[in-house]
Structure 1
Amino acid sequence: MTSVATLAPAVPRSRRGPGWTLAVVLAGQFMAILDVSIVNVAAPTIRAALGASGSGLQLIISGYTIAYAMLLITGARLGGLSGPRRMFLLGLALFTAASLTCGLAGSEGALIGFRLAQGAGAAFMVPQVLSIIQLNFAGAARARALSAYSAVLAGGIVAGQVLGGLLVTADLFGTQWRPVFLVNVPIGLALLAAGARMLPSDHVPRDQGLDLPGLLCFSAAVSLLVIPLVLGHEQHWPLWGWCSMAAGVALLGVFAVAERRARHPLVPGRLLRAPGLLPGVLGVFFAMVTWGGFLFTVALHLQGGIGDGPLRAGLTFVPGAAGFAVVSLTWRRLPARLHRGLILAGFALAALGYAGLSPVFGGGGRGEPLLEILLAVTGAGLGLAYSPLFTVALAGVEPRDAPDASGLMSTTLQLGQVMGVATFGSVYLSLSPSSRAIGVTGFGLAACAVVGAACVLPLLRRPRLS
């Protein structure tokens, strides 16, 4: 069997070496992931300081995710048109500027608007990370880069919860919630300076074009799906939300039909025919559904059902993030013949971890030290599935399709997390405060992991990607 680390070569073109290239783009990715969760911890303080309404607070927290998910494909295609280096720096500049204005905002409305701008900056920046990795790393170096990318995804959300708790608790210079945004500014400025010197030059293919109708159709479809998923539970799943999601699904169908006739489709047919891509995309989607739902519901249980503070709850997840990250960085040390089998084994281990929520929390307490062991095992299992899966899914993609593949994978990641939070968060909250809530949710997560494993079975039957 061919190792997934030896396929789809690319030519490194970094100005200061591939290590610096990877460090810059992954630091940008980490900031974008961090801001998904860092604001959650500061929400009560923001509400008190700005007098925000319930719906306004929801949009402050979720506006970032909405704009981020809606514009990822747009950011990927713009990267293909103008070059991933240029678009990464532009997105990073917008993200940094929006972080500054968020930290200085004096009203609810202003903060909502700046959060949307922050999400847009992340959407323009994040797809370029995978594009730059695809175009500038080859063979084993690419597999290592994707493993580091996976580790950053694992740690970003947990780090956001911990850092948010630390910053709000510290109340630096009496600034209360503002440092959760302002912390991005010096880091963003440093990355802009480093990126301008160290990121590889852009070489944009001349045959690129922009399918504007398809872009608008897809963006509208994603927004119609994401907005009710993000806001639905707090609004008690109103009729407009269901109508919006139905319209989003319909628009996705229109988009799929229209793409077949487009001169410059957002998702070229040859990309969808890349060996292993579609099973890989489905596997990544279900992996992110379970990971997002797991982190969210366990956090709800720790803070609501048990009474932990946000900082303690965030620190509780460190073993899970560590397990995910360590496995992501070390799985390549196993024999190449086992790499694809790791995907199925990882899903199975994660499913066991999810199902273990019921006995661990069954006594009504925190279940220590079994809880930390369970989190580490679950994180390790998901890392074992996710990192080889991501490598296999992208290994057969041609360099000219890297921007579109990056947009597709980034959108899949974000939609998976949103779906996981919305679906399993609703399951947990609908059963809470019953003691069965976390157990039922855990078994639902385990079933979802089994579905993810079923989706990747075609990868196990394919001995080669070419």
Structure 2
Amino acid sequence: MTTLTTPPTPTTTPPRTRPALLLTAVLTGQFMALLDVSVVNVAGPTLRTDLHATGSALQLVVSGYTIAYAALIVTGARLGRTLGTRRLFLTGLAVFTAASLACGLAPGTGTLITARAIQGTGAALMVPQVLVFIQRTFDGTARARALGLYAAVIAGGAVAGQILGGLLVSADLFGWSWRPVFLVNVPVGLALLALTPRLLPDDTPAPTTTRTRLRGLDLPGLLVVSPAMLLTVVPLVLGHEHGWPLWGWLSIAAGGILFAAFARIEHTTEKHGGTPLVSGRLLRTPGVTPAAVTLLLTMTAYAGFLFTLALYLQGTGPAGHDNGRGYTALHAGLVFVSGAAAFALVSLNWQKTPARLHALLPALAMPVVAAAYLALGWAQHEHANQAVIMVALAAVGIPLGAAYSPVMALGLRKVAPGDAPDAGGLLATVTQFGQVLGVAVFGSLYLGQAGNGAGHAAWITALGMAAASLAATASAAVLHHGTRHA
């Protein structure tokens, strides 16, 4: 039986580097990037009042970050490989911090929308490098532990965004209303910019010609995949608000055509000895493809769960119907704490299970996740009290924590150090795309059923999330089989 103990791999970290501090620094950057996906949601009503924003402008403030983040994350991964992960992490962190300041000082919606897109661009440059540092710095059980922390940050960032956003808006610090939601990133970002250059290994590539660098970037692939992501993500983010118009479907179709063209370009590039963004060698590495599929399905259901439960708890729905609990944004965010704590606790301790079960954990845990989603949907449908809902949230978090970190470990287990940036970019991309897809698919399903009552909508949505989790069970079984026989 295969365990998740990984053979030693070369590392670019010099002996003086302190791995624990390095991990803390890069995960803090990752946490900030994830926090900003959801932190603005609760500030929406205040933003609309203060800036006299239209509904579409407000939606672009909320989703512009996600659109830029998801569309450019592949580019960020490749730039890290070509120009150096340290340089790209610091560059992304600087862009993210400066854009956060611009968001907090924005005089109107136009400036705020632009700054949010730049903020998402900074996150796309920074986030793919985090997995690379983990892959290159840690081995064996230390790597598994680091990936557990990485998974806990992913879970915690989404929930903490809602809690922190509610706290900051409610506190109205210095009379600044919604602005501290963005400004909170600035001191943290500046502290990291001062600290991390001393911690991160310098992996700047040797000087090369411009032509060689462009070849290493796979410019044709970048020029196709970034618009493909954009054409796919934009209608998924904005489609429901606009009633799924024709332009959205045409955009998704165009994105599909470009993805097909991208696959062809990558095949041709590799065939002629180039360096494709997503190489066939990487996809053939045992564990990478089934891990990516498992992460996509898992994050799609998880993002849908976070989004729709927030709607239920805050009572969002048509007037005159059962709209859920009517909690404040802060109250709703605090309800999520039980699930996030359970996820984090298990993510950090799954290695303590018998070694013979490590590779099996994702396939064993995902059916339990499906059952937990159904239990949560039933609790919402039956209008169970808050304590029951929080217990159900913990029941979701426990098996998710047991599945997510091992999936990451198995997916990266056989990846060569030279492929770590691309592998990190691929897994980060499917994770982010799954979040966008989950909000679009399950958010639309919930809101479409809300006319029949929030409890009914929650139950129907739970059925869909359970189905996605069962599909993830199948891909996790493939992942176990493939790594066991690798």
**Are residues 1:28 and 2:29 paired?**
yes
| Deviation of the 1:459 alpha carbon | 2.4
| Deviation of the 1:11 alpha carbon | 2.8
**1:12–1:138 contact (8 Å) kept in structure 2:** no
* Cα deviation 1:109-166 (Å, max 9, x = unaligned): 0000000000000000000001111111111111111111000001001000000000
Alignment of 1:39-188 (within 5 A): 39-188=40-189
* Cα deviation 1:336-363 (Å, max 9, x = unaligned): 1101211112101110111113321233
Structure-2 residue corresponding to 1:406: 424
Counterpart code for 1:415: F
For the residue of structure 1 that corresponds to 2:452, the secondary structure is: coil
| One of 259, 268, 273 as aligned partner of 2:266 | 259
Structure-1 residue corresponding to 2:385: 367
**Are residues 1:379 and 2:380 paired?**
no
Report the Cα distance in structure 1 between the residues aligned to 2:358 and 2:259, rounded to whole angstroms.
Answer: 34
Report the Cα distance in structure 2 between the residues aligned to 1:254 and 1:444, rounded to whole angstroms.
Answer: 31
For the residue of structure 1 that corresponds to 2:157, the secondary structure is: helix
| Deviation of the 1:203 alpha carbon | 5.1
For the residue of structure 2 that corresponds to 1:260, the secondary structure is: helix
| One of 353, 366, 375 as aligned partner of 1:347 | 366
**Are residues 1:458 and 2:478 paired?**
yes
**1:276–1:465 contact (8 Å) kept in structure 2:** no
**1:9–1:139 contact (8 Å) kept in structure 2:** no
| Deviation of the 1:55 alpha carbon | 0.6
* Cα deviation 1:168-214 (Å, max 9, x = unaligned): 00000100000000000000000011101111121538887111111
**1:128–1:406 contact (8 Å) kept in structure 2:** yes
> Which aligned segments of 4 or more residues in structure 1 are displaced greater than 4 angstroms?
205-208
Structure-2 residue corresponding to 1:277: 288
Counterpart code for 1:134: Q
* Cα deviation 1:68-117 (Å, max 9, x = unaligned): 00110110001001111111000000000000010000011000000000
Structure-2 residue corresponding to 1:4: 4
| One of 314, 327, 335 as aligned partner of 1:316 | 335
Q: What are the ranges of 5 or more consecutive residues in structure 1 without an aligned counterpart?
A: none
**1:281–1:412 contact (8 Å) kept in structure 2:** yes
**2:367–2:470 contact (8 Å) kept in structure 1:** yes
**1:8–1:395 contact (8 Å) kept in structure 2:** no
**1:297–1:425 contact (8 Å) kept in structure 2:** yes
Which range is displaced more, 292-301 or 6-15? 6-15
| One of 222, 225, 234 as aligned partner of 2:229 | 222
| Deviation of the 1:12 alpha carbon | 6.1
**2:12–2:203 contact (8 Å) kept in structure 1:** no
Which range is displaced more, 394-403 or 352-361? 352-361
| Deviation of the 1:379 alpha carbon | 1.0
Q: What TM-score do the two structures reach when normalised by structure 2?
A: 0.93
Report the Cα distance in structure 1 between the residues aligned to 2:52 and 2:365, rounded to whole angstroms.
Answer: 45
Q: What are the ranges of 5 or more consecutive residues in structure 2 without an aligned counterpart?
A: 316-323
Which range is displaced more, 55-64 or 3-12? 3-12
- TM-aligned CA distance change 1:463 to 1:93, over 3 Å: closer
**1:8–1:396 contact (8 Å) kept in structure 2:** no
For the residue of structure 1 that corresponds to 2:242, the secondary structure is: coil
| Deviation of the 1:385 alpha carbon | 1.1
- TM-aligned CA distance change 1:89 to 1:463, over 3 Å: closer
Report the Cα distance in structure 2 between the residues aligned to 1:406 and 1:301, rounded to whole angstroms.
Answer: 34
* Cα deviation 1:309-360 (Å, max 9, x = unaligned): 1001111101111111111100011111101211112101110111113321
**1:4–1:391 contact (8 Å) kept in structure 2:** yes
Alignment of 1:201-212 (within 5 A): 201-202=202-203, 204=205, 209-212=216-219
- Identity over the aligned pairs, expressed in percent? 54
Report the Cα distance in structure 1 between the residues aligned to 2:133 and 2:402, rounded to whole angstroms.
Answer: 24
For the residue of structure 1 that corresponds to 2:275, the secondary structure is: coil
**1:11–1:138 contact (8 Å) kept in structure 2:** no
Report the Cα distance in structure 1 between the residues aligned to 2:13 and 2:483, rounded to whole angstroms.
Answer: 31
**2:287–2:414 contact (8 Å) kept in structure 1:** yes
| One of 460, 466, 473 as aligned partner of 1:446 | 466
For the residue of structure 2 that corresponds to 1:4, the secondary structure is: coil
**2:287–2:483 contact (8 Å) kept in structure 1:** no
Report the Cα distance in structure 2 between the residues aligned to 1:465 and 1:218, rounded to whole angstroms.
Answer: 33
For the residue of structure 2 that corresponds to 1:356, the secondary structure is: helix
Q: What TM-score do the two structures reach when normalised by structure 1?
A: 0.97
Report the Cα distance in structure 2 between the residues aligned to 1:449 and 1:411, rounded to whole angstroms.
Answer: 19
Counterpart code for 1:428: Y
